[in-house]
Structure 1
Amino acid sequence: MAEFRILDKDLDRVANAESAGLHSTRAVFRLGLALTFAAVVAIVGTLAGAALSGMLVAGMLVATFLALSIGANDVANALGPPVGAGAISMSAGLILVALAEIAGAMLAGGRVTETLTTGILPADLMHQGTEPATVMLAAMLAAAIWITLATWAGAPVSTTHAVVGGISGAGLVVFGPGALQWRGLAGIATAWIAAPIVAALAGAALLAVLRRAIHRAPDRARAAARLLPWVVGCIAAVLTLNALSLSGVGAPVVLGATFAVSAASVVFARIRMADEIAAGHPGRQMLDRMLGPPLVLGAILMGFSHGSNDVANIVAPLAVLGRSTELWPQAEPTSIRLLALGGAGIAVGALLFGRRLVHMVGSRITRLNTARALCVSLATSLTVLAATRLGMPVSTTHVAVGGVFGVGFYREWEERRFRSARTRARKPLPPEELRRLQLVRRAAVLRTLAAWVVTLPAAGVLAATLAWMIG
């Protein structure tokens, strides 16, 4: 019976990590309740002549809450595995990921922000009087209230889904059903479905490579020393290429810098791994330590991709609110200052409230197998970066769950294929028992899908109600 593993245990650990996040960030959500209350008071108590400035103040308060909660909850997805594996210290990791969040927001956050600004409602409607401000304020309020309620109930939800649902619901009430760009909404929904699937396939493929090249090698340490430096170089190349190509630097400089950074990373990783082999650690411990450099770079890459995608949840509503008032007429969704402000809010949330959650995820709860954690991290980062390039808002946590599913199903397939002769000689278990022990539990799948599906209409209905009240 011991050989038959329940292959969704990584998914259970992610669920436990989410529960830990909900528990450890209660202070953030208490702050969110206070900010939401202050926003409602600012709306109700604002004089008619200063309604737009009151909306702007309320929007900035709610945007602050969203930024802090996004940074506090999602930093553990990137930093939990390398801190738990001892690859980097807590303080250094938080600083690096926070800087990566800001860089991703500033360099690559504009495309997703434009999608949320003009991809759901037409651009010409986003410049007409107070209606756009009403839509965006209602959307942010709905997202803040829904996230707070879901946190209180212990249900994992996505800020991205809540904001998209809020904009759709409020736009439906303010402008009517004919104003919604249903094609744009269909594209966003398609990205939500496709991104976890792509991450699952990528995670499975990466794990297959590691299994074949390292885990089934006669000398795992030597095999890891040959392969992992190239993994480090590839991650460094992807990070450098994305950062520089979006900064307006010429193509020769981008290619030269990418090659130089990648080569230096390969050399550094080779030296580090040679030192690990010389230190003579036990086999499994040595392999985990050798995976440290790829895990650290993977965390930085995930921070960059997360900042580039999730900053839109903050910047898009603020840009519309700013353009609707004379106090901030120059606000644009691609403004580098506004993107930097949103990225800084996410980074501050990670620095102030992420330490405890990272500690729980990295050393108390998940303690994920480092190879699987690396595969999930890289699959998530690359998928989110691809979605950002296409301007599609996606949920980093949901994409990571897709990566966990892919890794789990690959392990199931591999165990079935490479089952030992001793196991084959045993009397086969009944089909019901095999399904119970080997397949990802359907309850976990349904619970995850339910949280994804409910968020959009719930936030939409709440935003529609708030928009009607404000209007």
Structure 2
Amino acid sequence: MDLTVLVPLVVATALLFDFTNGFHDTANAMATSIATGALRPRVAVALSAVLNLAGAFLSVEVAKTISGGVVDDAAVTPEVVFGGLVGAIVWNLLTWYVGLPSSSSHALFGGLIGAAWVVAGGSAVHFGTVLEKVLLPALVAPVVAGVAGGVATYLAFRITRRATASRTPRGFRIGQVASASLLSLAHGTNDAQKTMGIITLTLISAGSLPRGSGPPVWVVIGAGVAIAAGTYLGGWRIIRTLGSGITDIGAPQGFAAQTSATAVILTSSHMGIALSTTHVCSGGILGAGLGTPQAVVRWGTAGRMVLAWLTTLPAAGAAGALAGSVASTGAVGTVLVAVLGVLFAGGIYLASRRDAVGAHNVNDIPVEPLATSGSGGER
């Protein structure tokens, strides 16, 4: 396919992925604030959208990691990038439909790695960078956020145990608004850059930019607007899972979870580590639940969530490998991948309408009982 047609198609697909990243990951910043009532659902997603947009302009270090670190930009073609993006979008939509907070970042990495590996060979993938800046942070970051969230929650309950019931929640809810806002800003700083990096990689592979280039200004603006628009749509299914599906969240736990996650994400963005904000925020919420005096966790939901984490990279990689190999056969293959991707997205949307989740029912409590860590039983 002619590059004058293919490159705009890949750029549009990258922005579409960024849009799905936005509504898939809205829960990361706002689920606990919505669950505790600190923010009304529509206000929360609007605030998160604005701050995601602002965060996109704060740094480009993660974008540079993706555009020149994960795969060899000299060996990758726009068709490969297109196939990887389609694989990532397919996995994002599937996990959104079932309400699982999987990692959009790992879906993107998996799709890109799978497509590059199949089409250009194993030498096109920088496995050292993947290990250092993708896999190891995926293991360490949720644990760090979980421990920080648990300790912060424990301290919050200890410090405020003598405060009146009316004063304590109000103070923490104000803190939740502040921490959720900062977390949204951090999310935009980290996640919007991933799309910037993909578009920059496409432009480099097409010869429009020299190797080692950072994202142009129009790419930064486009990625920021796309993720903000997706965030405003509201990923209500995943917001429900994170807000009330893992543990019962009160204002102190919500504040502790959001603050610990924000610290981890901002640190990783500064270091150029393309961290999964989903992993970090989920770890923070789980730790906050365990840090309460009567720790309660829905381990069944937590187990399904971890399973989604483990399968995201290989599943998106397989989808990206298939899409990339077909797209690389020529114009007909690229069009076929695009058509099948649109049909899949349409099917997921229609299926989601049969059991719609929105601002009106996002805080409905799941049926699964809570397991209390102290007794090992259920209540």
The corresponding residue for 1:75 is 26
Q: After TM superposition, give the deviation of residue 180 of structure 1 in Å.
A: 1.9
**1:251 aligned residue:** none
Matching of residues 228-307 of structure 1 within 5 Å: 283-307=164-188
Q: Aligned partner of 1:446: which letter? A: G
Given that 2:27 and 2:236 are in contact with CA atoms closer than 8 Å, whether structure 1 keeps it comes out as: no
Number of residue-to-residue matches in the alignment: 325
Alignment check: 8 A CA contact 2:110 2:314 kept = yes
Contact kept, 8 Å, 2:143 with 2:283, in 1: the verdict is yes
* Contact 1:143–1:166 (CA under 8 A) maintained in structure 2: yes
Structure 1 distance, partners of 2:155, 2:90, is 43
Q: Which residue of 2 aligns with 1:13?
A: none
Question: 1:136 Cα shift?
Answer: 1.3
Q: What CA distance in whole angstroms lies between the structure 2 residues aligned with 1:76 and 1:450? A: 18
- 1:115 aligned to 2:65? yes
CA radius of gyration, larger in: 1
Paired residue for 1:200? Answer: 146
The 1:333–1:373 alpha-carbon spacing in structure 2 relative to 1, beyond 3 Å, is same
SS of structure 2 residue aligned to 1:392 = coil
What letter matches 1:161 in structure 2?
A: H
Quote the Cα distance in structure 1 between the aligned partners of 2:23 and 2:106: 18
Kindly indicate whether the alpha-carbon contact (under 8 Å) linking 2:169 and 2:251 is maintained by their aligned counterparts in 1. Answer: yes
Aligned partner of residue 106 in structure 1, secondary structure:
coil
CA-to-aligned-CA distance 1:3-57 (integer Å, 9 cap, x gap): xxxxxxxxxxxxxxxxxxxxxxxxxxxxxxxxxxxxxxxxxxxxx4x2x233223
Residue 117 (structure 2) pairs with residue 168 (structure 1): no
**Matched AA of 2:312:** T
Distance 2:243 2:193 in 1: 31
Cα offsets for 1:297-350 (capped at 9, x unmatched): 111111111111111332222112233447x54895443432222111111122
Does residue 4 of structure 2 align to residue 58 of structure 1?
A: no
Find the partner of 2:225 among 344, 355, 365. Answer: 344
Q: Which residue is equivalent to 2:312?
A: 455
Counterpart Cα distance in 2 of 1:121 and 1:112: 14
Is the contact made by 1:361 and 1:367 (CA closer than 8 Å) also made in structure 2?
no
Name the stretch that deviates more: 444-453 or 149-158.
149-158
Name the residue aligned to 2:288.
407
Secondary structure of the residue aligned to 2:58 is helix
The answer on 1:381 being equivalent to 2:332 is no
What TM-score do the two structures reach when normalised by structure 2? 0.76
After TM superposition, list the pairs within 5 Å mapping 1:416-431 onto structure 2: none
Contact 2:34–2:41, Cα closer than 8 Å, also in 1: yes
Distance 1:58 1:451 in 2: 29
Inter-partner Cα distance in structure 1 for 2:236 and 2:303? 29
Distance 1:410 1:349 in 2: 32
- Cα RMSD for the two superposed structures: 3.0
C-alpha distance in 2 between matches for 1:285 and 1:197: 33
Structure-2 residue corresponding to 1:246? none
In structure 2, the CA distance between the partners of 1:334 and 1:363, relative to structure 1 (3 Å rule), is closer
Which residue does the alignment assign to 1:354?
A: 234
Question: Structure 1 CA distance, aligned partners of 2:283 and 2:256?
Answer: 12
Give 2:317's aligned amino acid: G
Q: Distance in 2 between matches of 1:395 and 1:148?
A: 17
Alpha-carbon distance in 2 for matches of 1:409, 1:359:
20
1:145 aligns with 2:81: no
Paired residues of 1:83 and 1:362 also in contact (CA < 8 A): no
Which residue identity does 2:4 align to in structure 1? S
Amino acid at match of 1:114: K
Contact conserved, 2:153 with 2:288, CA < 8 A, in 1? yes
Distance 2:8 2:306 in 1: 35
Unaligned 5+ residue runs, structure 2? 329-379
Rounded to whole Å, the distance in 2 between the matches of 1:444 and 1:359 is 13
Percentage identity across aligned positions?
Answer: 25
Distance of aligned partners of 1:470 and 1:84 in 2 relative to their CA distance in 1, 3 Å threshold: closer
Amino acid at match of 1:354: G
Measured at CA, do residues 447 and 94 of structure 1 come closer, stay the same or move farther in structure 2, by a change above 3 Å?
Answer: closer
Matching residue within 96, 99, 106 for 2:57: 106
Shift in Å, 1:294: 1.1
Q: What are the ranges of 5 or more consecutive residues in structure 1 without an aligned counterpart? A: 1-47, 221-282, 416-437
Q: 1 CA distance for matches of 2:202 and 2:68?
A: 14
Counterpart code for 2:316? A
Cα distance in structure 1, aligned partners of 2:235 and 2:166: 25
How far 1:174 moved relative to its partner? 2.6
Q: Shift of residue 85 of structure 1?
A: 4.6
Corresponding residue number in structure 1 for 2:124: 179
Match of 1:311, SS state, is helix
Contact 2:53–2:188 (8 Å) recurs in 1: yes
Output the amino acid matched with 1:449.
Answer: V
Question: Separation in 2 of the partners of 1:454 and 1:361?
Answer: 18
Is the 2:55–2:189 Cα contact (8 Å) retained in structure 1? Answer: yes
Look up the equivalent residue of 1:71 and give its one-letter code: G
| Equivalent-residue separation in structure 2 for 1:119 and 1:320 (angstroms) | 10
C-alpha separation between the residues in 1 aligned to 2:97 and 2:145?
29
Distance 1:307 1:400 in 2: 14
